[in-house]
């Protein structure tokens, strides 16, 4: 889990530095760093600190949803666009332990015009799927 496979490259993006999910300038954020695979999927190797707990020892469900949303958003970003969540559905399959390494993966399912469908999952360090989501994202266009 701790290694970064050679085929994954750091994802360059122009997200605001204060983004709760990935912003380095947000002192209370998750500070997620994403890597891009050759197939345009995204990966994040992360450990959620206990400051984001719900029940002791477990990540809060809203934070789990945020992680999945952030990953799906980054998968859409691989298309070179910025989009916002219109709808998402989360399945919480197993508890996500705080302080434990996890792997987050996301990929585009399909795109139609400004609409982009994506899926994401959170995996334990042993490869078990802990949570998964699907979402619809709408491309932002300049005013």
- Written as six digits, the tokens of 74 are 């980054």
> In this structure, are residues 104 and 64 in contact, taking their beta carbons and an 8 Å threshold?
no
CA distance 82 to 104: 20
Tell me, yes or no, if 39 is annotated catalytic: no
Integer Cα distance of 45 and 32 in angstroms: 8
Task: Residue 10: name the closest of 82, 80, 78, 107 by CA.
Answer: 78
Beta bridge partners of 82: none
Question: Among the options 32, 59, 69, 130, which is catalytic?
Answer: 69
- Is there a contact between 130 and 95 (Cβ–Cβ < 8 Å)? yes
Catalytic residue numbers read 69
């Amino acid at each position: 889990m701790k290694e970064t496979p050679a085929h994954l490259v750091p994802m360059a993006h122009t997200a605001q530095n204060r983004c709760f999910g990935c912003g380095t300038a947000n002192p209370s954020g998750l500070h997620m760093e994403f890597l891009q695979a050759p197939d345009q999927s995204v990966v994040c190797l992360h450990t959620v600190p206990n400051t984001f707990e719900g029940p002791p020892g477990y990540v809060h469900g809203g934070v789990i949803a945020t992680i999945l949303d952030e990953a799906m958003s980054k998968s859409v970003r691989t298309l070179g666009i910025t989009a916002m969540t219109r709808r998402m559905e989360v399945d919480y399959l197993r508890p996500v332990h705080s302080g434990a390494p996890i792997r987050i993966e996301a990929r585009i399912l399909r795109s139609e015009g400004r609409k982009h469908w994506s899926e994401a999952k959170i995996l334990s360090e042993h490869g078990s799927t802990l949570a998964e989501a699907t979402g619809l994202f709408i491309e932002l266009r300049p005013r």
